Structure 1
Amino acid sequence: MRLAQVFERVVGRDARVRFLAYDDSSAGPADADVTVTVTSPYAVSYLIHAPGAIGLARAYVSGYLDVTGDMYTALSRMQSAMGDMTWADKRTLLRGILGDPLLRAAALRRLEPPPQEVRVERLPFLAGLRHSKRRDAKAISHHYDVSNTFYEWVLGPSMAYTCACYPAEDATLEQAQFHKFDLVARKLDLKKGMRLLDVGCGWGGMVMHAAREYGVKGLGVTLSKQQAEWAQKAIAEAGLSELAEVRHLDYRDVTESGFDAVSSIGLTEHIGKDNLESYFSFLYGKLEPGGRLLNHCITRPDDTGPAMKKDGFINRYVFPDGELEGPGHLVSRMHDAGFEVRHEENLREHYAKTLTGWCRNLDDHWDEAVAEVGEGTARVWRLYMAGSRLGFDLNWIQLHQVLGVKLHEDGRSGMPLRPSFEPPFAG
């Protein structure tokens, strides 16, 4: 069996994917709009020794396997190869490659790849207690301190690296990001003169929105030095320095209190299950009575199985130490910390649309992105974003916003009888 036929068998003959290999073999429909090219026997080594999604991912990000065409389409058609391979699958694969001496070597022992042109930025060794301040700082830096210029190309002018909220099917990514920040502001009932704490603030989008649109004095904190520097410069250029501030700081080191509202947009995924109770308790203590917390984060659909595969692609290459919990668990922890939860919604489809925009942006700036961060990092991002979009589409992961309030001592919430934060989209 030739190499292209081997990969076709692994992925499935009904996948509508064209396979090409360095041994001049080919398989699959000639008119397919997605082509997978195996450029080296080292791709086989990865597939055998790290089968399923992680093996394919490592082969791709290392440059031993190329994908021509839309990455999301390729992944959606190759779902049969995304899970763990059974022993029967392995035997079938081995039978197909044992006739080639080099492929047989790849199968029977792990080949040591030669020096390669594609340099892959894998997770550095993280020492110390999981989710300690020092280890969290290193994990966050691995993902976010890539290049502000790279993020500008991928995220667009909003520099919002969290799920947008599309007010209409044909809304642009920028309109949807504005609508997301405004939805958070309305759920928090922000008004002029209030004080907002935004934890895990990224490039400062929420504090700038609150200051510019509502006259709110906002403090944002992030563990990414590059994010903080970019945000402070953007705040100054926008003339918002009297109201908005972003600090390079762990949220646990915020000393101020008495805030009227707290927003946490995309931070909870980095907190860790064992720390959720103290996390929500800390935010509860920062609020005035009647103050609200809006927690916006990626979740899994339920609480069965592990929160994150420790040896999976995401944990190895993208979000080290990340953990996802089910929405019910998050709501319970908020209640246990003292919050009364008043509203919850799932924006799963919105994140799929957001990722579609980010993937398009990366494709449009591919050459510049490779020059800026290297081909290995660019490949990681192309694969991770397309795979995440597929995960949201197939309900493997979700995005939930949970609104809680810190009650007054007499039990008053200060909430209206019905939610008033969804006005018609004005364009």
Structure 2
Amino acid sequence: MHIFDNFLVHYLRRFDKYCFTVQLNGKTYTIGEGQPLFNVIIHKDISKKELLASTSLALGEAYMRKDVEIQGDLFTALRCFLSQSSQFSLDKSLFKRILYPSESKSAQKKQVSSHYDLGNDFYAKWLDPSMSYSCAYFKNEDDSLEQAQHNKVHYILEKLYLKEGMTLLDIGCGWGYLLIEAAKKYGIKGYGCTLSKEQWKKGQERIEKLGLKGQVQIDLVDYRDLVAEGRQYDRIVSVGMLEHVGRSNYPLYMETACHLLKDEGMFLLHYISGHDESIGNPWMRKYIFPGGTLPSL
């Protein structure tokens, strides 16, 4: 047995809330008590240095390289490890660029592009047909994902008390589904902004196909540049956008929304948050939401 094997097994024993097995160099180790829920197969050692620098990055990248394999249900394994994320090691000094990225316009444009410009075909494989990319609202147990996203969007629209002829701004409008539904049902004039070229492209296709040109407009523009256009809106909505703004930009974001909102207007803000000020983990920051601010998993 190699010294790294000893350390790796020793390290994994801290995740003993649930029972699982580890296969390494022809030997099987049991972590926790009870019936194993899954099996972790280690094809290549993970060094002590990597694990102590960032557990999430070390394990995540090892899985991506296929150095680590999960035998059993992957979701169960992830749930077991992530529910014990307090046991993860992290040396923040080694990951400053990932954990504390620039929140400038140019940097955030690159961050958004790296996530949302992976291609509309990619997102269509796992999003519902509406291409809604935020938490859904399952009113009934048998609701499909598409129905749940429809429920969510129309619940938001009801809260906005929209009237025909009103102007509605969607900050971070994604592929435009909310604006399109608002225009179809309430007869409003919708404006949206995004930094993703792929989202903008899909939005234009949808608007054209549905005959909503002139009623719904989506621009490839940073929300911070909207004030200079001199427009104001009866209603403003923003769904799942604040997570990308960056904490240092929160005051500017709210001030911008205030400038863009007409007197007696209404602003509905929907976002994911948490009770802590956690910076998240390096793997999530590097591969899923670069620059994003999300609560701990």
Report TM bin, short chain.
0.7 to 0.9
**1:334-373 mapped onto 2 (5 Å cutoff):** none
In the TM superposition, what whole-angstrom CA distance separates every residue of 1:51-88 from its partner, at most 9, and x where no partner exists? 433322232223221223332211222357633457xx
- Cα deviation, 1:384-412, whole Å, max 9, x if unaligned, reads xxxx8xx3xxxxxxxxxxxxxxxxxxxxx
Q: 1:238 to 1:7 in 2, by over 3 A?
A: farther
Q: Do the aligned residues in 2 keep the contact of 1:257 with 1:285 (CA within 8 Å)?
A: no
Structure 2: which amino acid aligns with 1:213?
Answer: K
192 and 312 in structure 1: CA distance in 2 versus 1, 3 angstrom threshold = same
1:10 is matched with 13
| Corresponding residue number in structure 2 for 1:299 | 273
Separation in 2, partners of 1:73, 1:237: 42
* CA distance in structure 2 between the partners assigned to 1:196 and 1:153 by the alignment: 29
Report deviation, 1:28: 3.6
User: How far is 1:172 from its partner?
Assistant: 1.8
- Counterpart CA distance in 2 for 1:85 and 1:184 is 37
Q: Residues 46 and 58 of structure 1 are in contact (CA less than 8 Å); yes or no, is this contact kept in structure 2?
A: no
**Structure 1 position 247, deviation (Å):** 1.5
Q: Give runs of aligned pairs for residues 53-68 of structure 1, distance below 5 A.
A: 53-68=56-71
Residue 139 of structure 2 aligns with which residue?
167
How far the C-alpha of 1:7 sits from its partner, in A, is 6.6
CA distance in 2, matches of 1:160, 1:56: 30
CA change 1:130–1:80 in 2 (3 A) is closer
Unaligned residue ranges in structure 2 (runs of 5+)? 90-94
CA distance in 2, matches of 1:51, 1:80: 16
Measured after TM superposition, the shift of residue 265 of structure 1 is 0.7
- How far the C-alpha of 1:242 sits from its partner, in A, is 3.1
Name which of 73, 78, 95 aligns with 2:81. 78
* Deviation (angstroms), 1:204: 0.8
Q: Could you tell me the percent identity over the aligned residues?
A: 33
Change (3 A) 1:32 1:241: farther
The answer to whether the Cα contact below 8 Å between 2:194 and 2:218 also exists between their aligned partners in 1 is yes
Please provide the CA RMSD for this pair: 2.9
Supply the AA of the counterpart residue of 1:173: L
Cα distance per residue 1:264-315 (max 9 Å; x no partner): 111111112222122111111112212110101111124xxx4414x62222
Q: 1:149 to 1:46 in 2, by over 3 A?
A: farther
| Superposition pairs of residues 96-107 of structure 1, within 5 angstroms | none
Q: Match of 1:405?
A: none
Residue among 187, 190, 197 paired with 1:218: 190
Instruction: Name the TM-score, length of structure 2 as normaliser.
Output: 0.83
For 1:229, the equivalent position in structure 2 comes to: 201
Match of 2:92 in 1: none
- For 1:27, give the aligned amino acid: Y
Q: Are 1:287 and 2:251 matched, yes or no?
A: no
Alignment: residue pair count: 282
SS at match of 1:155: coil
The whole-number CA distance in structure 1 between the counterparts of 2:285 and 2:54 is 16
Shift of 1:170: 3.1
Distance 1:154 1:147, change over 3 A: same
User: Structure 1 residues 65 and 46 mapped into 2: Cα distance closer, same or farther (>3 Å)?
Assistant: farther
- SS of match in other structure, 2:41: strand
Determine the C-alpha separation between the residues in 1 that align with 2:129 and 2:215.
21
Report the alpha carbon displacement of residue 149 of structure 1 after superposing the two structures with TM.
0.8
CA 1:28/1:174 → structure 2, altered by over 3 Å: closer, same or farther?
A: same
Q: What residue identity is the alignment partner of 2:62?
A: A
The DSSP-based 3-state class of the residue aligned with 1:289 is strand
| Inter-partner Cα distance in structure 2 for 1:225 and 1:167 | 33
Q: Determine if the alignment matches structure 1 residue 202 to structure 2 residue 204.
A: no
Partner of 2:285: 315
1:308 maps to a residue whose letter is: I
For residue 38 of structure 2, the aligned residue among 34, 39, 47 is 34
SS at match of 2:9: helix
Q: 1:47: how far off?
A: 4.6
SS in 2 for 1:154: coil
Query: Aligned runs of 1:381-420 on 2, under 5 Å?
Result: 391=297
Q: Which residue in the other structure is 1:394 paired with?
A: none
Shift of 1:225: 0.7
**TM-score normalised over the length of structure 1:** 0.60
Separation in 2, partners of 1:261, 1:68: 50
How far 1:180 sits from its partner (Å)? 1.0
